[in-house]
Chains A and B, each alone.
Chain A
Amino acid sequence: DQQVKQNSPSLSVQEGRISILNCDYTNSMFDYFLWYKKYPAEGPTFLISISSIKDKNEDGRFTVFLNKSAKHLSLHIVPSQPGDSAVYFCAADENSGYALNFGKGTSLLVTP
């Protein structure tokens, strides 16, 4: 039972444009959301997070938006760079403090 869904397996964006990665969740008890980036042969790297009490969090080129009523979050990368090409995972936590629930990932390709 997939509680975190990333319905786009892949996304291709031109360098300098905006990348928007989407994530939906079904468990209304999730209260903390994270995005991880993963390069081949490496573990996931924490990118940005957002608590359910906020609707936006920004860190440099990366912004995460949370729409609780729609159970939807998105990651915006502006401007996109070729080094951003990686698999992006959305994850959610039910205030357990330990068990992250991951989506299947979206493979982002940023072309020059």
Chain B
Amino acid sequence: AQSVTQLDSQVPVFEEAPVELRCNYSSSVSVYLFWYVQYPNQGLQLLLKYLSGSTLVESINGFEAEFNKSQTSFHLRKPSVHISDTAEYFCAVSDPGRSSNTGKLIFGQGTTLQVKP
């Protein structure tokens, strides 16, 4: 069965420092990969996604993630974080279990990014 592993449950970091949130998935077939973010008291929002093409994808607020097929990873990075980036981040894959991908998402356990001043 598909699984997604986020290796760190909490990542504390100082403002303006770089950060990497790690995500590994298990799959022997093509998948779609996503990062969602949940800010305090809000719902999940799509941060970025990899469907095909360039393995490096970027978000509008400075995050980027790189799809690495050989390592089955999709780590999220940002070179300089802000206080406002404090949130919980979820890595997810789209389940290719059916011939027509239904959009069902399989999530990792979540990583809480805590940015300190």
The answer to whether A and B interact is no
